[in-house]
Chains A and B, each alone.
Chain A
Amino acid sequence: MTNPVVHLTHARIRLALHELRGGEGRPLLLLHGLGERSPERVPDELAGWPGPVHALDLSGHGASDVAVGGGYYCEALMADADAALGHLGEATVHGRGLGAYIALLLAGAQPDRVRGAILADGPGMGGAGPMPSSPLIVTTVDPPPPGGTPDPWALYELSRDPRPPDYASTFARQASVRSGLDVAVAVVGVNRPPWLEAVLAEPGVIECGLVEALERFAAV
């Protein structure tokens, strides 16, 4: 069965927002990992969420447009997710890998609308690490797969962006201070890249299991 899809526009990119489950209450917004796409149905581990569930294909992924000539960076993807919030209103956000980092940025940027960010393991969690590596300019990539996504430029660029720990922790602080939530960010994964270690040291950020995170934010 095909899920209903809403097409949103961010800059010149058309984004696909999939409704995996309808219903009343605050939606759960899923952000996939690097190279992934939105799941076709609500994953079993998230089935306990009481409200509707939506999933966004980030730029260059799934049924969303690719950016011709590349130019991907995490803040632009955060603006993709902002477009989804513009459609949904408030949401609790669950991100995998790259999507976890985007969920953190979004929680800091839109603290009134993000009612809890759940950061889970997934592809693209680390980026380049705390600072840029020796410069390398890649000018060609493999051709895209049939269907065009994931865009090879997205895979390349979004796996090597620097994620300084103090930059990430600033977003965690924004989320904590400005959301009014006791807990604004829940880390449910196992991996701890340097940016996530720093985020965990901030007030309003906890480590917990996924079920507890879903229950906590559903009750907000």
Chain B
Amino acid sequence: MVDVTDPAETRTYPGARRPDRQWRVDANGISIAVHEWGRETDPPILFAHGGFDFARTLDVFAPLLADAGLRVVAWDQRGHGDSAHAALYSWDADLRDAVAVLDAVSRDPLPIIGHSKGGNLVLQLGCALPHRISHLVNLDGLPSRRSMPDLPDHQRTKLMAEEIDAWLAHRRRAARGQRKPGTIEELAARRATMNPRLERAWLEYLVTVGGRRDPDGWRWKIDPALRMGGFGPWRPDWSITRLPELGMPVLAVLGMELETMGWGTRPEDVEPQLPPRGRLVPMDGVGHFVHIEQPRAVADMVLELLS
């Protein structure tokens, strides 16, 4: 139990810098929180975070781009970070929210980066709005069939039944769910199960920028109605088939160390799909969170693409 008479607990992390500006945009009734690093007059670059992440996970990466003369704009997706919790969450809704941010930043073409689910989002943005996206960077966000187990039919049927049961059970309690409170260390330990390769000091820092301190302890701000995984008709190949359609310069980065939150996509899955102006960079010894494990190297690749 947190002693509420303590002064606010804080953590620092080497290189981490809070955003220079924060503002909100209304996306059809959902209030989206936007965070910016760098001078407001510098050319903008957008960043779409991954599922269960939030914009402040860029506190180390974004300042590297800002210091190179970019205005880095990242938003918390609905239900994540400081954005409003919604009644429903869907792919189309996330895309619409992204366009609300894009519209608020610039009507001119601009570069966009996406990590994981955010990488998948920017692929679709690049195809749907090619006149708005000048350069596209996908950080370990290319789903592949490798993540789908190859199972006999009867076993797949059983797995699906279990998945539907679990999903419906989650939906039934989604209205009254609450995230579990704990100390900074406890929340960091919980997150470490999703981020096993990231330093504990970093995860503790994230608690203080992605959590809120209630009287009974820290809680992640993310909507408890959100659930990892799920089921539906979506197929991974529906995403990667967007890649060859892109006409702008594209950088795709793969973290070669397999981990829970990643897709396990290999270079040979991506190479045949690369567009004419695409570059693929597999990073050996790096996991799914390439921009957090290797912020300098990834920032340099982004800057090279823009140059």
Complex CA gap A133/B168 in Å reads 28
Q: Mark B235-246, 1 if CB is under 8 A from A, else 0.
A: 100100010000
- Output the nearest chain A residue to B174 by Cβ-Cβ distance: A11
Complex CA gap A136/B167 in Å reads 28
| Chain A hits for B85, CB < 8 A | 12
Inter-subunit contact B87/A13 (CB<8 Å): yes
| Chain B hits for A157, CB < 8 A | 90, 92-93
Inter-subunit contact A69/B175 (CB<8 Å): no
| Chain B hits for A2, CB < 8 A | none
Contact of B90 among A11, A73, A164, A177 (CB under 8 A): A73
Q: Mark B145-178, 1 if CB is under 8 A from A, else 0.
A: 0000000000001001100110110011011000
Inter-subunit contact A69/B238 (CB<8 Å): no
Q: Mark A142-168, 1 if CB is under 8 A from B, else 0.
A: 000000000001000100011110010
Q: How far is the CB of B136 from chain A (nearest CB, A)?
A: 14
A188 within 8 A of B: no
Complex CA gap A139/B233 in Å reads 23
Q: Identify the stretch in B25-33, B196-204, B209-217 within 8 Å (CB) of chain A at 4 or more residues.
A: B25-33
Q: How large is the interface on B (under 10, 10 to 19, 20 to 34, 35 or more residues)?
A: 35 or more
Complex CA gap A109/B162 in Å reads 9
Inter-subunit contact A11/B233 (CB<8 Å): no
Q: How far is the CB of A102 from chain B (nearest CB, A)?
A: 13
A23 within 8 A of B: no
Inter-subunit contact A83/B235 (CB<8 Å): no
A71 within 8 A of B: yes
A11-B88, A11-B171, A83-B172 known; A137-B233 Cβ under 8 A: no
Contact of B88 among A9, A73, A86, A139 (CB under 8 A): A73
Q: How far is the CB of B161 from chain A (nearest CB, A)?
A: 6
Q: How many residues of A contact B (CB 8 A)?
A: 44
Complex CA gap A132/B103 in Å reads 25
Inter-subunit contact A173/B157 (CB<8 Å): yes
B299 within 8 A of A: no
Q: Mark A127-143, 1 if CB is under 8 A from B, else 0.
A: 00001101111111000
A1 within 8 A of B: no
Q: Identify the stretch in A27-35, A49-57, A74-82, A209-217 within 8 Å (CB) of chain B at 4 or more residues.
A: A74-82
B78 within 8 A of A: yes
Inter-subunit contact B164/A108 (CB<8 Å): yes
Inter-subunit contact B86/A68 (CB<8 Å): yes
A70-B96, A71-B87 known; A11-B225 Cβ under 8 A: yes
A59 within 8 A of B: yes
Complex CA gap A136/B28 in Å reads 17
B125 within 8 A of A: yes
Could you list some 10 contacts between A and B, CB below 8 A?
Answer: A11-B87, A13-B88, A65-B87, A68-B28, A73-B232, A76-B90, A108-B164, A110-B168, A153-B28, A157-B93
The 9 A-B residue pairs with the shortest CB-CB distance, nearest first, are A71-B88, A69-B30, A67-B87, A71-B93, A135-B128, A79-B171, A68-B29, A67-B88, A71-B90
* A residues in contact (CB < 8 Å) with B: 9-13, 59, 65, 67-73, 75-76, 79, 82-83, 86, 108-110, 131-132, 134-140, 153, 157, 161-164, 167, 170, 173-174, 177-178
Having A140-B28, A173-B157, one finds 8 other A-B pairs with CB under 8 Å, namely A11-B225, A65-B87, A68-B29, A75-B167, A137-B96, A139-B96, A139-B99, A177-B157
